[in-house]
Structure 1
Amino acid sequence: MSLLRAVCLALSFAAPAMAQDDPAAAALAAKEQLQAAHAALDAASGSQDRVEALTRTVQAYEAGLQAMRNGLRRAAIRETALRESLDAKRDEVSALLGTLQTIGRAPAPMMLMHPSGPTGTARAGMILSDISPAVQSEVNVLSAQLDEVRTLRALQQTAAETLRDGLQGVQEARTELSKAISDRVDLPRRFSADPVKEALLIASAETLEGFAGGLSEIVVDDIPEGEGALQPFVGPEKGDLPLPVQGTILRMPGEADAAGIPRPGIIIATEPGALVTNPSAATVRYAGPLLDYGNVIILEPEPDILFVLAGMEQVYGEVGQVLPAGDPVGLMGGERPAQDAVATQTGASQSSETLYLEIREGQQPVDPAEWFKTDKD
């Protein structure tokens, strides 16, 4: 299977898996998605652009694992609802089974007779013919519910191996991606940073605004525009850029973060180890720890426009490099979830990490919704 086909197959399962009304079908579709991601990982080893191939593979794994967790949680919820329904009908089921057993033990000739004679027998037959369809319908419903419970239970029992393989696969893909990035030497570079000036700027900056304002002072070996320098440009994609990480927007601009500090950017809740990618072709202006933001990468998609991504455990890229859209720029930290926790409805949310995204135009922060598709009212 070719790499492109494998990755497209893996990603194509995501929407159907989440759209299924049947929890079991959704979980099974997610399993197929993870299997396709395994194939994509095998195919990536022979790809000419291993960074791009492995980036897509990691994203396929992340989508598959998320779909599997959601499917299993839905399966667990559905199983609980069925068991509660069956428990509520326990007396009714017992009476129904008792009646059926009594009828089953009675000799056939006796079932055709009634103590009051032929008239009573005829009336009993008419009543029995009226209630038989309802009894059969109830039996069919109970049988279907019991079968579904058995299917859901078997699905959850076999999910541990699927999740274990998926978690191992995504970790392997992340490791291979880090190696491929470190081995890459073909990225264009617009400039370099003076390490001494950069260290002084980091030590003296008290705010993100102050640091961003001094970035131009640390540039050396700048290639003038028109002499081979590649200047990224967002163009018509402005306002429709994808978020840099798979997750859910937790806080909007102006809302206080976990420390109670209002931030002008947005905070995205992500899963541990999630891959962070470049939303648009951009120049790396800074990569490393900064103030209380943790590891930060600052990208310049256009002159005087900065994308600030903060809170990662690991960042990729060097100052001055021009990264293509979709290129990996970092990995989120956090402890990987236990395999048994994600298969239960009471398991804690996996979105334990947060990525901070701030957009700056000139020296002022702006609403990220002006650049990104946030899908939040």
Structure 2
Amino acid sequence: MLETSARLLRLLSLLQAHREWSGAELADRLDVTPRTVRRDIDRLRELGYPVHSAPGTAGGYRLGAGAELPPLLLEDEEAVAVAVGLRTAAAGGVEGIEEASVRALAKLEQVLPHRLQRQVGALNAFTVPLLGSGGPRVDPNLLTELAHACRDCRRLRFDYTSHDGTASRRTVEPHRLVFARRRWYLVAWDAGRADWRTYRADRLTPTPPHGPRFTPRPPPAEDLAAYVSRGISTRAYARQATVLLHASLEQAAERIGPAAGTLEAVDERRCLLRTGAPSLEVMVFHIVMTGFDFEVREPPELTGYIQAIRDRLSRALAASPSAASPPRDGADRTPGTRSGSSGES
């Protein structure tokens, strides 16, 4: 039985390696008779693999597309190439597939033989990827360690440095890794604070041993992306505000990213912006630089800061000997620029 199972895996690997095989070629590769090949093909079909065949001298066997992805059997060189490619993608080399790359890398590294792990490690140690500038680089080894802890429901211990430089030691129940605005975040239940928290991956240093295992809790929100966005744009700061923007949700989203605030549509022409900043004075500039007219919803004292800055600007204009005339084409709004505020809970 063991010999038959091993032969089936080898047959599946051969079918994945080439577009089409003749029965004689497969029999020669497997060192069996053509009749045994036909029986093994039937067994693969019974297991759900769509193996197609064509009769005649020009015919053969090929593996077709099925309803589910079959397990991929990789040669040594292929496994090394995939692991290195996934590490590059996880580091932000390919936009949009970072989280999936980490999950796939965690699965692959779990089963890589030690000899292949050494090859992958050597390639990564002595090659330098030329990636675009953006968020801080995070070691893929750290990301896979965090992904394993999330998958295995194992407690994590790490030293953490918050955005204001405060150092602390945390013990958490990891839930998910989220990639947002070229930064990696870990969403986890903080055992010491008895609440959900969001941590920047580049600011944590694991302190093994990890464990024990835990029973997963209900997630903090159905939309983890929105939860992380609130954590890095609002909850991380000393002051929070909600303003009504005179712009549609689509228009606002073009200028305000997830790290700058969360947006909620009110109607076709207005939306709510919830955001945070170190102080209300900084908050004023943050909101003004979105480039949209707005109304303060909360906190009420934000209006006082707006009035103070308005008066300061009016005095500056009055004292300027060559104050420019206001535009007459109706374009009287401050030019919008993307805000760069960010942080973490």
TM-score, structure 1 normalization:
0.20
Q: Decide which structure has greater helix share.
A: 1
- Higher RCO, Cα 8 Å, sep 6+: 1
